[in-house]
Amino acid sequence: MSGEKHAHPAAEPLPGRVLEQTGVDVARCYQCGKCSAGCPLAAEMDYPPSQIMHLLQLAGEFPEFAEMALRSHTAWLCLTCEICYCRCPMELDIPKVMDALRHEALRKKKVNPKAKDILAFHRAFLDSVKHTGRLFEMGQVVDYKLRSGHFLQDLLQAPWMFLVGKLHLLPERVRDRRQLKRIFARTLKARENRP
Amino acid sequence: MARIGVFICHCGENISATVDVVKVAAEAARIPGVAHSVEYKYMCSDPGQQLVKNAIKEKNLTGVVVAACSPRMHEPTFRRACAEAGLNPFLCEMANIREHCSWVHEKGEATTQKALDIVRTLVAKVKKNKALEPIKVPVTKTALVLGGGIAGIQAALDIANSGHKVILVEQAPSIGGHMSQLSETFPTLDCSQCILTPRMVEVAQHPNITLHSYSELESLDGFIGNFKARIRRKARGLDEKLCTGCGLCMQKCPTRKIPSEFDAGLGLRPAIYVPFPQAVPNKPVIDREHCTYYRTGKCRLCEKVCPTQAIRFGQEDEIVEAEVGAVVVATGFDIKHGDFFPEYGYGKHQDVIDGLQFERLASASGPTLGEIRRPSDGKVPETVVFIACAGSRDPAKGIEYCSKICCMYTAKHAMLYRHKVHHGKPYVFYMDIRAGGKMYEEFVRRAMEEDGVQYVRGRVSRVYERNGRLVVKGVDTLLGARPLEIEADLVVLATAGVANAGAEELAQKLHVSYDAHKFYAEAHPKLRPVETNTAGIFLAGACQAPKDIPESVAQSTARRRRFILPASAASSARAPAPTRPSRRRSSAAATGRWSRPWPRSTRACARAAAPAWPSAAPNRSTSRASPTRRSMPRFWPCWNEVNAMADFNPKIVAFVCNWCTYAGADLTGTSRMKYAPQVSIVRFPCTGRIDFMLLLKAFAGGADGIIVSGCHPNDCHYSSGNFHARRRWVVFRGLMDFLGIDVRRVQFSWVSAAEGAKWAQLVNETTDRIRRLGPFADYQRLRGQGVG
Amino acid sequence: MQALRSKARELLATKTVQVIIGYASGGGGRARAVFVREAAKADALVFDDSCQQNLAVYFSKPEVRKLGKAALVATPAALRAILQLAAENQIAEGELLALAVGGDDVVPLATFAAIEAHVAARDGDWSAAEKEELQKYEAMGLEERRRFWEEQFSRCLKCYACRAACPLCYCTRCTVECNQPQWIPVPAHDLGNLEWNVMRAMHLAGRCVDCGDCGRACPVNIPLHLLNRRLIREVFTVFGSRSGRSAKGDNALSTFKPNDPEDFIQ
């Protein structure tokens, strides 16, 4: 009855980790392509979402596919708009898989070089929140420029934004910043403790 | 003196892979009363059956237990073998050690012991069985065919042509079904109506066929060979004997803008109408919902112009009663309509249509006389996109199955479009191509290679309107999931095939089982695909599952054989299901009232369409005394031996009904789902038959927990058995709780024949719960005191 | 009482009935059943607070039926028993004349309709004391209740007095008298006693008219009537039906509604 079991994609390193972290079993994807069809950024991606899913399906047997998935630009371009999840006939939470891939890529230091700016923006954002409890646009922009090196980007927009009140010179701070520090510390600790 | 023969089957490796069958055979030989115990690779084969026959003769056996697959599979096989060897067939029982043991538990000692326990149980039972004789019941040699589509028409003609009478009941004003709506059929591209209408006419003219069109089944009582059907002939609003079908009424009717059902909403019809020109019978019907007279009291123009004064406005429905011997259910299917893919815009954009609507456009008798035109502006579309799998293979939408026919009809539609619009550009977005029939693959290749249909592998995310055209946003997975946008003039969705609207209600009237999608359940998916579990009621066509025309016709012809052979006998042998009345019951029974809180279903057993249910049912001596009281003490000791040193291993007995939960548990086995091995299953004809005392006896016998499970309400094979059981359980639980017995030890449930996964989950959850509750020491302590 | 006696005399003298089933003085301040067949002996009839036995039980006995048309001195419980027996086709209209005694009044009820009306006019819920009694047991936890009933049933003698006293236990052959197989063991031991009492309670579910004779008849004072009361309440709360209110109709457990509650069913 139970013969030689074919290696199930979810049982191996990367797909197994994806399953563990997201609950998504990539074996259920039957490659219909509806996610890629609906994805607003599919045309810009190196591997549209359905291809990422197929790479994950084979990643157990073929480590190079795991590499391709981790190093893809796709996970960083994903907007988490959830059109793919909404339309998927198998109800696979693809945005969650993308998130898991981002974390894995960071952990293994295999981030796609084209994602440098996205990562810079992301970190600048989190920094702002950590220090003020709010998104302080000015601070975030400065932080982003320092990290990314795009000093002159969008500079011409700045005056107008000041005038209409979209940019402020001073940040608004929440009262209990210690709470924030604790939240960040706890989250980072939990991430470390994750297997 | 009992001399029981025990035959353990390996079933190839199906049983022997997880159960040590040699050991079971050896241990079974030591059961008192067992005179012969062997194991063999394939008991159901000829040599296997010969083993049984030889043993009966040589060892003078008084009973036989075959430990193998489910009795629902091979009980008739072995009973026949016993009969041929001179042993009364009802002295043969099957121990289900495959679906309920080897297939659902892991290989090991526990599984072997469980198999042995099951064998012990059935040995104890067979010792109490009595020899029974079938009773002869006269058979009515008429068939009732429900549904006048191609399957029903074929069934009716086959049966009628072999000399038997047929009553054909069709819900719509005309027979023909969906096939009459098609333009051409795959793979031959025959004109659908050309091959169908001659048969429709044959039905109308056949001396052996009585056609009730615009009629429905009101009720069905009785049993195989002796059904009583009541048919409601809905009021057409005219005297059919006077109507000549001249059509003047339809021409003159002032209410003309009603969406035509036959044209799938693309065409219009008047309030008095014949659905299509080749309708059989070619007599109109008044649509009371839209007719001006019925709505406002005015008009009656048709009455005035009718040359034979055939119109009868006050006509009422008529109930016709008929006695029939068998029923063929050929009620067909429907395709899913409606806006279940909001992103495709069906219902929002007029030019997004479904498959049936395309058929009507392509039909020479359709609203556009066979020209493919856009519903919105009547223009000929230059680009048509066909979207396959619109609804099927889609767990998110609740339809996980494949609708089988859409790949083929989509190819056909694309080809028809090209044949009619030579410069047109058809695209098909698909996931897979399913073309498994004769000449089917060639048909699809023809579409791709000769007719230039462009196939794109990928699904469509969205269809929206832009500048009067429809933008189809799809993807080509074969090009690295590259998004692909096509501007189309017409989009055709191949929507899922689903059960008809009234399918559930009809199934309940007929007492046939159906699955979660309301398709009717066959008796066995492989070996008995055209019968239902109710003897005398057969299935034909797409009411069972989506299928194409050749299959429907083949099934109908198979049905004929199944019906005709029994019907040829002057009488049929009914396997007995005796109710042994006791004197105490007779006082109530004699006065015609059943005052005991026991179910009426035991009477209904004989009345309802019940096939052979010989020994286990209302015959108290069998199902009651064993395996509960007598075999219980023997039942548990082996568990104690095995589990002596282990943690508490709960003992759970499951009392289940044969038609639903037992079959569901079989399905769990067939699907190879694993569950906890501590449960042992006892088979009853109906939950209504499960006496509350059995539960107490099970506890007394050492059970720590009990499962009682049967058919869902409204699905009881005997109509109302489970309703009575339900009430009894409410009262019993109240009493148990009052007496200080923990009601959590008894789990009641409804598990249908299609819910294999639910059965496994139920067993596992219950075993867990009982394990946490611990052994039922308090009750079992009572057992130890005094004579038991 | 005088009214009762004179009515009895009249009925017997005019041969309207052949026997009056009523109460007479027994020893020790108790009442016992009496079958008066001659007008002259009608003075034996009494009716006071000691008259609690449900006399309808005699009407199922063939020996009593053979005496001819009977009049029955009926307590409210007996009237309900008559209606329930009628609903179960054990008594036909006109076989029995019920004499409802209240205070000094005797109300003859010749038809089932009359009995129904009489019962309906005086129908009510349980008294506060009766409700409290049941609630007292339910307030005990499961374990305490189990111990309570175990102790009670350990005293059961299997004398079947409860069965004999019950007007609705009229089966000519009770299930315990079948010994092929012996479903419930005969000797008095804990398990068999439990099984017997459970079975009797279930067989009466939806039928018991709450006369309490079973508890009164029990020689070792097991409060059997509590089991039946608990089920009466269950049947009423869940299915809305009560026995003994109509001479027609089906019992709660021999009917059903498609939407009966099933929240405990998975």
Listed by start position, the domains of chain B span: 1-133, 142-333+500-568, 368-496, 578-611+647-788
Residue showing tokens 């020790």: C28
Domain residue limits, chain A? 9-110, 114-193
CA distance B219 to B230: 5
Q: With CB atoms and an 8 Å threshold, state whether B724 touches C181.
A: no
pLDDT greater than 80 at residue B611: no
Q: What is the three-class DSSP state of B76?
A: helix
**Category of B233 on φ-ψ map: left (φ > 0), alpha (ψ -120 to 50) or beta:** beta
pLDDT band at B688 (very low <50, low <70, confident <90, very high): very high
For B28, residues 6+ apart whose C-beta sits below 8 A from its C-beta are B6, B8, B34, B37, B67, B116, B119, B120, B123
Q: C107: distance to nearest CA of chain B, Å?
A: 29
Is the domain covering A9-110 a CATH 1.10.1060.10 domain?
yes
Q: Which of B14, B389, B481 is the closest to A50 by Cβ?
A: B481
CA distance B24 to B13: 15
Highest averaged pLDDT of the listed ranges B132-146, B708-722, C223-237: C223-237
Residues 46-105 of C with CB under 8 A from B: 87-90
Report the run of H or E that residue B457 belongs to, with start and end. Answer: strand B454-457
Q: Subunits with at least 3 CB pairs below 8 A relative to chain C? A: B
pLDDT greater than 60 at residue B622: no
For B755, residues 6+ apart whose C-beta sits below 8 A from its C-beta are B664, B667
Interface size between B and C, measured as CB pairs under 8 A = 166
pLDDT greater than 90 at residue C114: yes
Question: Comparing C98 with B594, which gets the higher pLDDT?
Answer: C98
Q: Residue C167: list chain B partners with CB under 8 A.
A: none
Q: Residue B10: list chain A partners with CB under 8 A.
A: none
Mean pLDDT of B711-719: 85
Q: Residue B696: list chain C partners with CB under 8 A.
A: 194-195, 198
CA distance B86 to B54: 11
Taking the Cβ of residue A135 and every Cβ of chain B, the question of whether any pair is shorter than 8 Å is answered with no
Mean pLDDT of A19-26: 87
B142, B325 Cβ separation under 8 angstroms? yes
pLDDT at position B317 is: 96
pLDDT at position A194 is: 64
Q: Which of C95, C208, C241, C264 to mutate to test the interface with B (most CBs of B within 10 A)?
A: C264
Instruction: Give B13-72 as a DSSP string.
Output: TTTTTTS-HHHHHHHHHTSTTEEEEEEES-TTSHHHHHHHHHHHHHHT-SEEEEEES-HH
Taking the Cβ of residue A25 and every Cβ of chain B, the question of whether any pair is shorter than 8 Å is answered with no
B334, B355 Cβ separation under 8 angstroms? no
Chain C CA closest to residue B720: C256
Mean pLDDT for all residues in chain B: 86
Is the sign of the CA dihedral C181, C183, C188, C190 positive or negative? Answer: positive
Chain B CA closest to residue C235: B731
B759, B104 Cβ separation under 8 angstroms? no
Residues 484-503 of B with CB under 8 A from A: 484
Phi and psi at residue B540, in whole multiples of 5°? Answer: -145, 140
Q: How far is CA B523 from the centre of its chain?
A: 8
Q: What is the pTM of this model?
A: 0.67
Taking the Cβ of residue C126 and every Cβ of chain B, the question of whether any pair is shorter than 8 Å is answered with no
| Amino acid in position C96 | L
Q: Which of C199, C203, C256 is the closest to B723 by Cβ?
A: C256
Taking the Cβ of residue C40 and every Cβ of chain B, the question of whether any pair is shorter than 8 Å is answered with no
What angle in degrees, to the nearest 10, is found between the helix axes of A49-59 and A63-70? 150
Q: B394: distance to nearest CA of chain A, Å?
A: 5
What angle in degrees, to the nearest 10, is found between the helix axes of B150-161 and B549-568? 30
Taking the Cβ of residue A36 and every Cβ of chain B, the question of whether any pair is shorter than 8 Å is answered with yes
Among C107, C53, C90, C69, CA closest to C247: C90
Taking the Cβ of residue C195 and every Cβ of chain B, the question of whether any pair is shorter than 8 Å is answered with yes
Q: What is the three-class DSSP state of A147?
A: helix
- Locate B688 and state its tokens: 């209504």
pLDDT at position B332 is: 94
pLDDT at position B582 is: 27
A181, A130 Cβ separation under 8 angstroms? yes
Q: With CB atoms and an 8 Å threshold, state whether C198 touches B787.
A: no
pLDDT band at C259 (very low <50, low <70, confident <90, very high): confident
Q: Which of B393, B460, B480 is the closest to A51 by Cβ?
A: B480
Q: With CB atoms and an 8 Å threshold, state whether A34 touches B460.
A: yes
Q: B756: distance to nearest CA of chain A, Å?
A: 18
Query: Which residues lie across from B656 on neighbouring strands?
Result: B683, B709
Q: With CB atoms and an 8 Å threshold, state whether B726 touches C260.
A: yes
pLDDT at position B566 is: 57
User: Would you mind telling me the total number of residues written for chain C in this entry?
Assistant: 266
pLDDT > 70: percent of chain C: 100
Mean pLDDT of C61-88: 92
At B557-593, the pLDDT tens digits run 877 666 665 555 555 555 554 433 322 332 332 332 3
What is the CATH code for B578-611+647-788?
3.40.50
Phi and psi at residue B512, in whole multiples of 5°? Answer: -105, 150
Among B574, B661, B556, B561, CA closest to B611: B574
Q: With CB atoms and an 8 Å threshold, state whether B739 touches C194.
A: yes
Q: What is the three-class DSSP state of B260?
A: coil
Taking the Cβ of residue C122 and every Cβ of chain B, the question of whether any pair is shorter than 8 Å is answered with no
pLDDT at position B597 is: 29
Count of C-beta atoms within a 10 Å radius of residue B377: 10
Tell me the fold of B142-333+500-568: FAD/NAD(P)-binding domain (3.50.50)
CA distance B38 to B5: 8
At B43-55, the pLDDT tens digits run 999 999 999 999 9
Q: Residue B403: list chain A partners with CB under 8 A.
A: none
Chain B CA closest to residue A55: B480
**Residue A155 exposed, middle or buried by CB count within 10 Å (0-12, 13-18, 19+):** exposed
CA distance A22 to A85: 13
Q: With CB atoms and an 8 Å threshold, state whether B778 touches C146.
A: yes
* CB environment B760-776: b (16+ within 10 A), e (fewer): bbbbeebbeebbeeebb
pLDDT greater than 90 at residue A69: yes
Among B172, B315, B306, CA closest to B242: B306
Chain A CA closest to residue B394: A89
Q: Which of C137, C195, C265 is the closest to B693 by Cβ?
A: C195
The region of weakest confidence among A110-124, B97-111, B635-649, C111-125 is B635-649
- Locate C23 and state its tokens: 């109460």
pLDDT at position A9 is: 44
Taking the Cβ of residue B16 and every Cβ of chain A, the question of whether any pair is shorter than 8 Å is answered with no
Q: What is the DSSP letter of B436?
A: -
Mean pLDDT of B468-473: 94
Residues 678-697 of B with CB under 8 A from C: 692-693, 696-697
pLDDT at position A11 is: 42
B368-496 and B1-133 share a CATH fold: no
For A89, residues 6+ apart whose C-beta sits below 8 A from its C-beta are A30, A32, A34, B393, B394, B395, B396, B397
Contact between chain B and chain C (3 or more Cβ pairs less than 8 Å apart)? yes
At A119-159, the pLDDT tens digits run 999 999 999 998 888 889 889 999 999 999 999 888 888 88
Q: Which of C88, C180, C202 is the closest to B732 by Cβ?
A: C202
Is the domain covering B1-133 a CATH 3.40.1350 domain?
no
Q: What is the three-class DSSP state of B106?
A: coil
Strands B482-488 and B469-476: antiparallel
Residue showing tokens 């006077």: B242
Is the domain covering B368-496 a CATH 3.40.190.10 domain?
no
The region of weakest confidence among B322-331, C102-111, C214-223 is C102-111
How many CA atoms within 13 Å lie on the side-chain side of A165? 0
pLDDT greater than 50 at residue B638: no
Residues 46-65 of A with CB under 8 A from B: 47-51
Strands B318-324 and B226-233: antiparallel
Q: What is the three-class DSSP state of B246?
A: coil
Q: Which of B738, B755, B763 to mutate to test the interface with C (most CBs of C within 10 A)?
A: B738
CA distance C119 to C247: 11
CA distance B11 to B591: 52
pLDDT greater than 90 at residue B535: no
Alpha-carbon torsion angle C190, C194, C197, C203, nearest 10 = -150
Q: What is the three-class DSSP state of B467?
A: coil
CA distance B664 to B667: 5
- Locate B745 and state its tokens: 């030890």
pLDDT > 90: percent of chain B: 72
pLDDT greater than 50 at residue B604: no
Q: What is the three-class DSSP state of B233?
A: strand
Q: What is the three-class DSSP state of B471?
A: strand
Q: With CB atoms and an 8 Å threshold, state whether C144 touches B740.
A: yes
pLDDT at position B647 is: 66
pLDDT greater than 90 at residue C48: no
Q: C258: distance to nearest CA of chain B, Å?
A: 7
Cα angle for residues B221, B225, B231 (degrees, 5° grid): 40
Taking the Cβ of residue B633 and every Cβ of chain C, the question of whether any pair is shorter than 8 Å is answered with no
pLDDT at position B344 is: 93
